[in-house]
Amino acid sequence: MGADDQTAHFPGRVLLDAYGNGGFRFADMSHRGSILCLPSGIWSWEAHTPADITIETLRRVVDEAEGIEMLLIGTGDDLVPLKPEVRAYLKDAGIGADVMATGPAARTYNVLMSDERRVAAALLAVESAR
């Protein structure tokens, strides 16, 4: 399924309530799998492993670049650096990227959202919350 075929799970920006058990909780909803937290809403994300974080899987993020100053990328249980071409793609779109494990990325997303920053997140699902 391509990014254009997805529908938002939740329109608008909300804090994440929990992560782990292979998914996320937000706005009294739960989602199994990875997510994109964007200005337009929280979207299902087809990425499952750090190798799946590609220009193609981040296209929706770049489509919303105007509303994003910082993208937090959660790479699962461990920090895995972005591929150089992916980092260049985001930079060319004017998006700063900060890569970390999913747990710290989810927590940082909530802090920056609470500060009313123009933050977005691309978070790979993890089984256990740390």
Asked if 6 and 34 count as a contact pair (C-beta separation under 8 A), the reply is no
Q: Rounded to whole angstroms, how far apart are CA atoms 35 and 27?
A: 14
Q: Which residues in the chain come in under a pLDDT of 70?
A: 1-8, 130
Tell me the whole-structure pTM to 2 decimals. Answer: 0.92
pLDDT at position 8 is 60
In 10 A of CB 69, how many CB atoms?
13
Instruction: Tell whether 75 is covered by a domain.
Output: yes
Domain that holds residue 73: 7-123
Number of domains into which the chain is organized: 1
130 inside domain: no
At 49, give phi and psi (nearest 5°): -135, 165
With vertex at residue 95, the alpha carbon angle to CA 77 and CA 55, rounded to the nearest 5 degrees, is 65
Can you give the length of the chain in residues? 130
Q: Report yes or no on 2 lying in a domain.
A: no
Quick check: is 93 in a domain? yes
Residue 28 falls within a domain, yes or no? yes
Closest among 17, 105, 12 to 97, alpha carbons compared:
105
Q: In this predicted structure, what is the pLDDT of residue 19?
A: 96
The Cα 78–Cα 103 span in angstroms is: 9
Q: Is residue 24 part of a domain?
A: yes
Amino acid at 64: E
CATH of the domain at 55: 3.40.1230.10
Per-residue confidence (pLDDT) for residue 6, from 0 to 100 = 55
Q: Does 129 fall in a domain? A: no
Structure tokens at 56: 């193609």
In this structure, is residue 104 part of a structural domain? yes
Whether the CA torsion 75, 113, 71, 96 is positive or negative: it is negative
* pLDDT tens-digit readout, 12-31: 899 999 999 999 999 999 99
